[in-house]
Every structure is written in C-alpha cells, then in structure tokens.
Amino acid sequence: MRTAIVTGGASGIGLAVSREFARRGAHVVIADLDGAGAERAAKELNGSAATLDVSDARAVTDLVERVAAERGRLDVVFNNAGIAVGGTVDELTLDHWNRTIDVNLRGVVHGVHAAYPIMKRQGFGHIVNTASLAGLVPAPLMAPYTATKHAVVGLSLALRAEAAAHGVRVSVVCPGFTDTPLLDNANPGLPQTPTGAGARESASRTTGRLYSVDALAADVIRGMARDRALIVAPATGRLAWRGARLSPSAAVRVASLAVHRLSGR
C-alpha cells in the first residue's frame, strides 16, 4: 500500500483509518470539506491535504487524477465522506433527501467513477466504500441515510463482481453505531428535527455503548487484507445482520419496537 486517498479523512472513521494506512507506510491524501482539519491530519501523518466537497464530481475527478499522476500509482481510495440525517419520514423535507443523496451516494459514485478506470488500467488497487449497518438492516428514523447506505452496499458488490477480473478489489464497510462527530452534527445545514437533534443519545440508548473508531479502523485494515466484500463490525452488528438475513420480517418488527422505545410511545 503506497498511495491512499481518504475522503472525510479529517475526523472520525476517516482519520482513524488514515492513521492505520500511514502506520503501514502509505502516503495518505486527506480529503475533507473541512480544509483546516485536513491540513492538521495531513501534518500529523506526514501526508497531503485537500479541501474537497465529494458532491462535486469534477473536483473529485481532478483530485484523484492529480494524485495518481503525481504519485505514479493509486493503491487505495477510501470513499468515506458522509453525513447523518435523522427524523421521521413525515418530518423530513426534500432538502434532507437531496443533500443525503448528494453526499452519501453521489459522493461515493464520484469517487468510484474517478478511481476505477485508473486502477483498471494499472491492474491493481482497492476501492473501499463506507456504508453502514443501516445499509444491511431496517434502520428507521433516518430513512434517507438508510436508503443511501443500502445503495452504497449494492454499488460496491456490483462493482466488486466487475472489478475482480481486472485485479481491482472492492470492499464496503458497514459499521454499527460508532463514536464519531457525525452523531453530534446530524442534519448539517438542514432543518433540524427532534429525532436528528438527539442522534447521539438515540444511538447510545440503542446500543448501550458506541464502537470506537480505532477498533473499527483495525477491522477495516483486517478486512482489506482478507479481501472481504463486506466488513461488518462490531460483533453485535454482525449478529443483527445475520438475524435480518434469516428473518427480514422479524427484523422489521424489532426495528418497530425500537421506534416506539426511542419515541416514548
């Protein structure tokens, strides 16, 4: 692993994974909408920084092509940038939906669209996309987020099937509730909802304890090394995923009970 681009790399999961990449000798390009945060992370890791809005397709392509040209290769692109959007479906506006799709889905599409042709030409590389456990199980009270994360899982598995013949690996990360700044900044730049305002509290009540980003980063590195299609963590998340696969209707009933518990009804 020699050159890695990490979007949303200034904090949370992106920063923790970037640290793991750097420890293994990679030159890490930290790309984030928070340019100052990206600079701080890059300085810490002796890497490079870029201010990037992943919803801007041209900006993503320019960054990926520039890094590949300057470094002579592109080993990993970790499409990790995302936002949290919470609220009941009737509370949400089309702005909530559109912004979530622009960042969480189109942001990944833009990263794949830019990186995959380069990796295909060079005959190697690993694309890692961050989805969520919400992309595998029913996850109410955040329908736009859930919809985009299901889409990222589907995109990743479809691309993996195509890319295998060209030496390109594709993995998708599906973490359960993880202790990241996203939980403190739900519905960024959007109308706040009662559910979104309590994202961290709701997550803590649901799981009891949030998973650490450092533990998740170790899971990501291990999953990449084993060329896992799906990297699901923690163990409770894998259990929930298996349960949903065995009985989708039961998983929906459990999710419905969680809605009643969290809403106090």
The residues assigned a catalytic role are 145
Beta-carbon count within 10 A of 208 CB: 9
Residue 198 main-chain phi, psi, to 5 deg: -110, 35
Distance of alpha carbon 119 from alpha carbon 255, whole angstroms: 40
Going across the sheet that includes 76-79, the strands are: 48-51, 27-32, 3-7, 76-79, 125-130, 168-175, 230-233
Q: Which two tokens stand for residue 136?
A: 């595998």
**Cβ proximity of 64 and 74 under 8 Å:** yes
Q: Which two tokens stand for residue 58?
A: 């041209």
Kindly compute the dihedral angle of the four CA atoms of residues 220, 221, 226, 230, in this order, to the nearest 10 degrees. Answer: 10
DSSP state of 180: S
**Cβ proximity of 211 and 175 under 8 Å:** yes
Distance of alpha carbon 75 from alpha carbon 26, whole angstroms: 9
Kindly compute the dihedral angle of the four CA atoms of residues 135, 4, 100, 227, in this order, to the nearest 10 degrees. Answer: -10
